[in-house]
């Protein structure tokens, strides 16, 4: 399985990718998670990326492409990968094509998780994440058993800095302007597989599995 999970912020890319990674042992590569880890560790990349992320803007393509070149060349990608949050611009998609050509592999599909802007705002304003293991929760839709504590590792849950309503609206605007052209880009290559992602997480997973003949 070599796939891209495409969709607006809050569509459920991270949620679905984590389930698929655990069930089918493929590498889950989330550019957002890699960037947040760099910010947390005060690396040079993290320091450059932070202001863009806090403002809901995209981190410059050159930084992202360099980061993904290194990540995709690691051994765990040989069994397959799920790209979550990359590519996000046509230039990133073109760079990905070159990276995959160099690695002599091809994409199987681009799964487009479709949700409306209003659902995005509701999902992201209620999202909580684990500081330790990165597990994703929602105060209403996927609450932890104990308030503020991760079910998986006991870590503390927090709200991402960019999950404030004004930043969410900006991220949505950036998605519509800079990322949505990828829908046409991948559709014209016959790779796009749209999925209605305004259903329960289990139903969305079933639809994705059907695409791969794994239901």
What does the binding site for ligand AP5 look like in residue numbers (CB under 6 A)? Answer: 7, 9-15, 31-32, 35, 52-53, 56-59, 64, 85-86, 88, 92, 123-124, 126-127, 136-138, 141-142, 162, 171, 200-201, 204
Active site residue 127: yes
* Smaller CB separation from ligand AP5, 110 or 204: 204
- Phi then psi for residue 156, to 5 deg, are -85, 140
Active site residue 169: no
Q: How far is the CB of 9 from ligand AP5 (least distance, A)?
A: 3
Residue with tokens 């070149």: 69
Q: How far is the CB of 78 from ligand AP5 (least distance, A)?
A: 22
Cα dist. 88→46, 57, 148 in Å? 18, 11, 31
Query: Which tokens sit at 160?
Result: 């991402």
Q: Which residue is nearest to ligand AP5 (CB)?
A: 32
* Smaller CB separation from ligand AP5, 104 or 156: 156
DSSP structural state of residue 76: G
In angstroms, the CA 135 to CA 14 distance is 9
Which one of the listed residues 2, 36, 127, 128 is annotated catalytic?
A: 127
Reported as type and span, the H/E element at residue 71 is helix 61-72
Q: How far is the CB of 118 from ligand AP5 (least distance, A)?
A: 13
Which one of the listed residues 50, 69, 160, 164 is annotated catalytic?
A: 160
* Smaller CB separation from ligand AP5, 104 or 122: 122
Q: How far is the CB of 18 from ligand AP5 (least distance, A)?
A: 8
Q: How far is the CB of 87 from ligand AP5 (least distance, A)?
A: 6
In angstroms, the CA 14 to CA 32 distance is 9
Cα dist. 129→13, 29, 151, 159 in Å? 14, 17, 11, 6
* Smaller CB separation from ligand AP5, 104 or 182: 182
Active site residue 171: yes
Which one of the listed residues 13, 71, 123, 128 is annotated catalytic?
A: 13
SS percent in the chain: helix, strand, coil, step 5: 50, 15, 35
* Smaller CB separation from ligand AP5, 80 or 126: 126
In angstroms, the CA 108 to CA 120 distance is 27
Query: Which amino acids are annotated catalytic?
Result: 13, 88, 127, 160, 171
């Amino acid at each position: 399985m070599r796939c891209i999970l495409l969709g607006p912020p809050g569509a459920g890319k991270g949620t679905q990718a984590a389930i698929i990674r655990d069930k089918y042992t493929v590498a889950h590569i989330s550019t957002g998670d890699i960037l947040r880890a760099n910010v947390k560790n005060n690396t040079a990349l993290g320091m450059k990326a932070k202001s863009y992320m806090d403002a809901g803007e995209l981190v410059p393509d050159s930084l992202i492409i360099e980061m993904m070149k290194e990540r995709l060349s690691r051994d765990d990608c040989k069994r397959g990968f799920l790209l979550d949050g990359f590519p996000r611009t046509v230039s990133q998609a073109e760079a990905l094509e070159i990276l995959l050509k160099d690695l002599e592999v091809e994409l199987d599909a681009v799964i487009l998780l479709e949700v409306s802007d209003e659902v995005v705002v509701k999902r992201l304003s209620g999202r909580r994440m684990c500081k330790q293991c990165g597990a994703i929760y929602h105060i209403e839709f996927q609450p932890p058993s104990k308030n503020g504590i991760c079910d998986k590792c006991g870590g503390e849950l927090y709200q991402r800095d960019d999950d404030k309503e004004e930043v969410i609206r900006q991220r949505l605007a950036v998605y519509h302007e800079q990322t949505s052209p990828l829908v046409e880009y991948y559709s014209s290559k016959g790779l796009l597989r749209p999925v209605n992602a305004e259903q329960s997480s289990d139903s969305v997973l079933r639809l994705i599995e059907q695409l791969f003949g794994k239901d």
